[in-house]
Structure 1
Amino acid sequence: MSEYFSEELIAQAKETSLTQLAEYYGYHPKHVGNRLYTLVEHDSVRIYNDRTWYRWSRAGNGKESGGSQIDFLMQFCGVESVHVAIKTLLEFQGISVEDRQWKNTLNEKAAIHQAGEIKPREHAEFVLPEAMPGTYRRAYAYLIKTRGLSQQIVDYFVRDLKILYEEKEHHNLVFLGKDKDGIVRYATKRGTADIYGKKYMGDVAGNDKNYGINIVNEKSTELKVFEANIDLMSYMDIKGDFESNKLVLGMTADNPLVQFLKDHPHIKRITFCLDNDDAGMLAMFGNEEKVGLLKKYEMQGYETDTDTVPQGIGCKDWNEYLVYKKTGQDIGCTEPIENHQVEYSRKRKCR
């Protein structure tokens, strides 16, 4: 097979229904307007005309993201190259790229594929990437040298908890989310090198997004909630906290938190350790249109609190703060969240 796809095949790949594709990979599209959808797991995403998507988020580089079905697969579904994404989209439509008569296999009378006519598929099979045999040298080097983590923390996740390993094929980090019985239900990958100037991240296809990476301690009644896996590791490195329960959401929706509390009823207190950016603050404190996580779970009877990075030093998340503490380097500028915290505290006292 040629390394390149014809313009005709690329155009055909972009006829794939985005909502059906999202459902196949375990997401839950939600209709929010005329030909407009969002994802329950990522409510900042908008899908237009079932073919293109857009997301505004200040997390990371503070820029918009979006594009075609190809970009969606690479951003949310663990596909690591444009070539593989196009092939995946064609196969999703039932098209074999080796078949020169691929138009006829789809419809004998029409050459143009109508994505809506494809019958919905079952979710992708959940298969974990093969682990790198021996030691995870690249994973350790990336986490310790680039992300500033201690070897003690990396060992704890790899050897003690067994929820982190290095993928054999691409040397990605693979984080594992287990249920209350220790069965892996969720897995997400994080690249150890730049790809086209961007850091690669993506969930393993077929996972259950009601679960997240978690650490359980039945002797503690406190749960600390994070946005990202490396932020959790950084927090433990900074605070030396090996006692509390911990959970990584991995998205703006709180599905993993709902499931964790259901599975672990001993939790009485929830501390949200999310990012110091607009998305993190909105998730924790809410606004006039959306109830924040603090209020939502306080209304359910839990004690709630926040633990975010210190103000005034330009750090967005716990890993940036860890690097800052070790190097003294100002990572970047973020807007202060003090007003959100003060306003929420004032409302609590006035009840």
Structure 2
Amino acid sequence: MPYVTPEQIERAKQMDLLTYLQYYEPQELVHFSGNVYRTRSHDSLKISNGKWCWWSRGIGGRSALDYLVKVRGLSLPEAVVQIGGQTAALLPVPSKEPASAGPRKLLLPEKNENNDRVIVYLAGRGIKRDIIDYCIQTKRLYESRCYHNAVFVGFDSQGVPRYASLRGTSRRRFMGEANGSDKRLSFSIPARDNSSKLHLFESAVDLMSYCTLELLSGREWRQDFCLSLAGIYKPKQDISESTLPAALTQFLKDFPQISEIALHLDNDAAGRLAAKTIQTILPSHYIVFDEPPERGKDYNEYLRSTLKIRRIQERE
């Protein structure tokens, strides 16, 4: 029996049954009516609104993990491995689409009726409500119905959602991506006008933290474009063999007027290596600035330390 860590179990719990079947076992999924689905193997097992119920047996749950254990009879470790895709024999892998096929279908988590927990979570990290509200109003940010994760959405040039990163809002650390996400089209905030400068970050939270710092400094926080790389960029050991992050490559293609790029990557070894690599392999006609946070590991830590200093100064 495979060994799985508590972190792997927690991550597996994040996947709902509908998403699991749509992505991994579409042949097992049958549309019943409206937003209700059933499984091909069990007519009375219905899936709706983020939950599933096997009516003939009187059992149900929310997650794909519940389903694999209660219905398929897998042990917990086996179910976690199947969802995590760590054992190819257990996980049906979709056949590769030909190069000419269209974009993968993005399976966005179902929206919650409100965004209260996401707002509290981000505000607790120091991000100003103006930035949070802008992202919600432009559909870049919402709260998922299941697990109440923060969902950060990226769009293509036609305004179609193509990417979504997930971040847990509870005390348990969780980060992931929605199935079908295209890393080339990650979370971003556009410039108010046609700017020629791009600011680059590792995560959506760092990006929003930088915008907050700009707002606190009295500057126009949407003066330039801001883009998240959707995670840590890992160059090859030989920098000369590395390629630019997919999100950056796509952005420069979509916005050819960009001539200046500010790198706001983390203050750790991985972030410094990523910044060095990007500076090295970017074409020479770009003006590149390396601007890591002045304090802390990342821009959110920098923001929170700045707010703490301000509060101390206000009390004096």
Fold match by TM threshold 0.5: yes
Q: Give 5+ residue unaligned stretches, structure 1.
A: 1-10, 15-66, 102-113, 286-291, 330-351
Q: Which whole-Å CA distance do the structure 2 matches of 1:137 and 1:81 have between them?
A: 19
Q: Name the counterpart of 1:242.
A: 222
Matched, 1:207 2:140: no
Q: Give the equivalent residue in structure 1 for 2:13.
A: 80
**CA gap 1:119/1:307 in 2 versus in 1, 3 angstroms:** same
Structure 1 runs of 4+ aligned residues shifted over 6 Å read: none
Query: In the alignment, which residue of structure 2 is the partner of 1:297?
Result: 282
1:22 maps to what in 2? none
How do 1:147-166 and structure 2 match up within 5 A? 147-159=125-137, 161-166=138-143
**TM-aligned CA deviation for residue 176 of structure 1:** 0.2
SS state at 2:108 partner: coil
* Cα distance per residue 1:159-178 (max 9 Å; x no partner): 2x320011112111110000
> Please, which runs of 5 or more residues in structure 2 have no aligned partner?
29-66, 75-86, 97-103, 216-220, 234-244, 311-316
**CA distance in structure 2 between the aligned counterparts of 1:136 and 1:294, rounded to whole angstroms:** 38
2:156–2:185: 8 Å Cα contact kept in structure 1?
yes
> Deviation digits for residues 83-117 of structure 1, max 9, x if unmatched?
98xx98xx77x99763579xxxxxxxxxxxx9469
Distance, in Å, in 1 between the alignment partners of 2:110 and 2:91 is 31
Per the alignment, do residues 73 and 306 of structure 1 end up closer, same or farther by CA in structure 2, a change over 3 Å counting? farther
1:268 pairs with one of 250, 259, 271? 259
Note the C-alpha offset of 1:216. Answer: 2.6
**Which whole-Å CA distance do the structure 2 matches of 1:182 and 1:83 have between them?**
26
Mapping 1:173-252, distance limit 5 Å:
173-195=150-172, 199-217=173-191, 219-240=194-215, 241-252=221-232
Out of 150, 172, 177, the residue aligned to residue 149 of structure 2 is 172
Counterpart code for 1:190? R
Equivalents in 1 of 2:4, 2:112: separation in Å? 32
Distance 1:155 1:284 in 2: 30
SS of aligned partner of 1:328: helix
Residue in 2 that maps onto 1:61: none
Partner of 1:129: 109
TM-score scaled to structure 1, two decimals?
Answer: 0.58
Give the root-mean-square deviation of aligned CA atoms: 3.3
How far apart are residue 316 of structure 1 and its match? 0.7
The DSSP-based 3-state class of the residue aligned with 1:192 is coil
1:270/1:72 CA distance change after superposition, 3 Å = farther
Whole-angstrom CA distance in 2 between matches of 1:100 and 1:306: 53
Q: Secondary structure at the match of 2:292?
A: coil
1:142 aligns with 2:121: yes
After TM superposition, give the deviation of residue 118 of structure 1 in Å: 7.8
CA deviation map 1:242-293 (0-9, x unaligned)? 11011100223311111111111111111111111111000011xxxxxx10
Counting aligned pairs with the same residue, the percent is: 31
